[in-house]
Structure 1
Amino acid sequence: MIDLYYWTTPNGHKITIFLEEAGLEYRLIPVNISKGEQFAPAFLAISPNNRMPAIVDHAPADGGEPISVFESGAILEYLADKTGQFLPRETRPRNDVLQWLHWQMGGLGPMLGQVHHFKHYAPEPVEYAIERYHKEGERLYGVLERQLEGREFVAGDELSIADMAIWPWLKAEKQEIDLARFPAVAAYRTRMAERDGVRRAMARIDDINPAANVAMDEEARHHLFGQGR
């Protein structure tokens, strides 16, 4: 049994997609980051960076005490190694997947997150920041466009943890990047959305946070952008 500490963000979706695609039994534990639940001592004990997602594996491969893992990329790699799914064991294809996983973790996610913030959440417009991050977002879409040409998935012919990391950030449309300029990315985004496992993962949004698209209030802004309680 895997306990998944989750909220309805792109990083949270990465892990529900893995669990649904892998058919693993899991318990979803909401961490409402708009209400500051990520700062609760019990959560910080497993996720010291006060970010979700995090997991607790109650049946680790070594048969020992439960293992907790934080950071979405580390969780994906841990689950892939645990199950033997979505991450090749052979050196070269494994390297391909891990490169694109870390590209998402170090580039696509953080940069698009800044696009989202300065376009939609900053208390006042900062034109330099909006332009700078939007252009970087477009550059990263271009990198992905070239990689996806002639490929069904990011790292080859089979679904991998790289796809699970990348797709939720493409789904989050607040970056307002024109997909007409990136046809391979647009087709990939649709292909991924049509997978049964992805559909099941996305259905958890309404289970946990039916108000996901409601405008942010001041309490949420404080907890999300105040860097502490």
Structure 2
Amino acid sequence: MSASGYGQFCPVAMASEVLATRWTILILRELLCGSRRFNELRRGLPRISPALLSKRLGELEELGLINRRIDVRSGSPGYELTEAGEELRPVIMSLGRWGHRWLESQLSLRNLDPSLLMWDMRRNLNPAPLPSRRITVQFLYHDVTRGQAKWWLIVDKADVENPVDLCMLDPGNEVDLYVVTDLRTMTAIWMGIETVQSALASGRLDLVGAPELQTTMQAWLGLSPFADEPKRVPAGG
């Protein structure tokens, strides 16, 4: 902790000096969500610079919240939470639940990012309702710049280690379902602000392809872990 900290012995102040630095909470969020490699962390935090991410990871390692491990097969480094880091799970999840419950939804929907949305959908997708064969779903955002308008989610239950993959380039597979919408609508569905059915009814979402994938989309689509949290309005809001 820096000498320019709060200068208080209170555990809340001391913990804040560790956790309140820019990006630290979000790096811990990514690790708690299963990211282990540097590039995985970058995909979940697309706006952090590589230099700052390296610095924060070094600080977290020095504080004893993470360990750095070298993969014996690839030779590349990976990161894992220590007992102290894992103990922050309920703290960070509670912070997310509070933000979802009390903060104005429209504020969240100003911060639209297709790469972050698709990465979150990829790691939260539930393969259980999907057929056993390989499934390819293409997302087309008609309001996004060309380079980020098309995405492919590939689900293969036979691949135990990596059942869900995300591609920005056409993988060449036959597409089972096309999802055509705007980024704001898809983000609202992911956040639990609205549903697949309500977006279809309003004409802001169009599904083309296998009927069984269309009818089960709400069940298999990777939603925010806070999507089921009821929204509340602060007094006087």
In the superposition, the TM-score normalised over structure 2's length comes to 0.27
Structure with the higher strand share, 1 or 2: 2
In the superposition, the TM-score normalised over structure 1's length comes to 0.27
Larger Rg: 2
RCO (CA 8 Å, sep 6+): is it higher in 1 or 2? Answer: 1
Structure with the higher helix share, 1 or 2: 1
